[in-house]
Amino acid sequence: QDDNDIKLSALPYYSYGKGLGITSPDSIFKLNIRFRMQNRFTSLYNEDEEDGYEAMIRRLRLRFDGYVGDPSIIYVIQLSFSPNDVGAIEDGDNLNIIRDAIVFYRPDEHWNIGFGQTKLPGNRQRINSSGALQLTDRSINNARFNIDRDFGLQVYYLNELQDKLSYNLKTAISTGEGRNWTKEPDNGLAFTGRLELFPFGAFKSNGMLFEGDIKREETPKLMLSGVYHYNNNARRTRGTIGDELFAQRDIQSLFLDAIVKYNGWAFQTAYMQRTADDPITFNPDDALDSQYVFTGSGFDTQLSYIFANNYEVIGRYSYQEPHKDIEALTPQTNQYSLGVTKYIWEHALKLQAELTNTELNYLDSSSTSNWYLRFQVEIGI
């Protein structure tokens, strides 16, 4: 691993193995090719529906990264092709294949300036690659509240130190409309700031960017992080993602996260919140047709232990509460998951099984309990 790989590894991408990479003899460029694929089979036992199954390529990604001209000028391109990566085709929308397309300038080990499209410095689990999760997917709160990817300028000041208190500060100014948006000129930007504190120093191998203590930290490591995000004149139900609202809204998001790893144990917890005034917007041509900002809050907690044979057992509990402005429109939700993961080649090749129960509690006091059992294979380089 050369110096550039080290620089890249400070970006929020999980990398194991070396990809198919070539550095030119005169070191004028580097192009590295990577892929990953996630195949899954799920048995569904939903209370009010016939039992069924889903079987799909959940994620399929190609990644190209490297540098051009000078090792301090780094590019990352990531393309996604699976149906759930891209979403169903909608007339008038843009093709949604590009996930990341960004240039970074890294003049030294501290500063990292990016221009293009990639993940915003949001909640920890969202920054964590979906290829480096313990369970088969992220939490229900991440799904509702995360701030996803966006196009803009990102400036990071990185100051992670070995074995002592240190921190990273990550900021972004972006369009606020989300990835591959070109519909109309924008009239309100989004501003994001994230602070990461490492009271006991940095994790092994950027361990805050993958779940599970697969590196078996010898001393406890902790990252505490907080994010504030303000999306001015947002157009979509979840800010940078979701259906289009009938009127623009200003949206604020708050994320608080902790991750601890020690001796095979890993513990993560997160609080997420989205607020907006007057979150329900109505179709001016049809007052019965509405779209609302998903306001509310949620809480996740997740614990795991990895055995010497690289089998890991994971439990997660999530609680999600819609804001009272929209509580008639969407249920309060609890989710309980139990998972077993076998790491064959760290997160790059693993087998995962997961049993999950989701309870949906409606305002009229009715409730629904759904279950699924899932098997998943993750493979990539």
- Looking at the Cβ atoms of 31 and 355, the one nearer to its own copies is 31
Q: How many CA atoms lie within 13 A of 55 on its CB side?
A: 3
How far is it, in rounded angstroms, from Cα 289 to Cα 140? 26
Which of 348, 354, 358, 374 is close enough to bind its own copies by CB under 8 A?
Answer: 348
Q: Which stretch binds its own copies (CB under 8 A): 54-62, 204-212, 218-226, 243-251?
A: 54-62
Q: Which stretch binds its own copies (CB under 8 A): 124-132, 174-182, 302-310, 318-326?
A: 174-182
Min CB(121)–its own copies separation in Å: 17
Q: Which stretch binds its own copies (CB under 8 A): 41-49, 237-245, 274-282, 311-319?
A: 41-49
DSSP string over 96-133: --EEEEEEEE-SSSSEEEEEEEEE-S--HHHHS-GGG-
Which of 6, 55, 161, 363 is close enough to bind its own copies by CB under 8 A?
Answer: 55
How far is it, in rounded angstroms, from Cα 49 to Cα 40? 21
Handedness of CA 312, 317, 323, 328 (dihedral sign): positive
65, 79 Cβ separation under 8 angstroms: no
How far is it, in rounded angstroms, from Cα 104 to Cα 122? 18
84 binds its own copies (CB under 8 A): yes
**Residues contacting its own copies: total by CB under 8 A:** 76
278 binds its own copies (CB under 8 A): no
Min CB(341)–its own copies separation in Å: 15
70 binds its own copies (CB under 8 A): yes
Min CB(370)–its own copies separation in Å: 11
3-state secondary structure of 9: helix
187, 233 Cβ separation under 8 angstroms: yes
Site string for its own copies, 5-34 (x = CB under 8 A): ------------xxxx-x-x---xx-x-x-
379 binds its own copies (CB under 8 A): yes
Min CB(55)–its own copies separation in Å: 5
274, 295 Cβ separation under 8 angstroms: yes
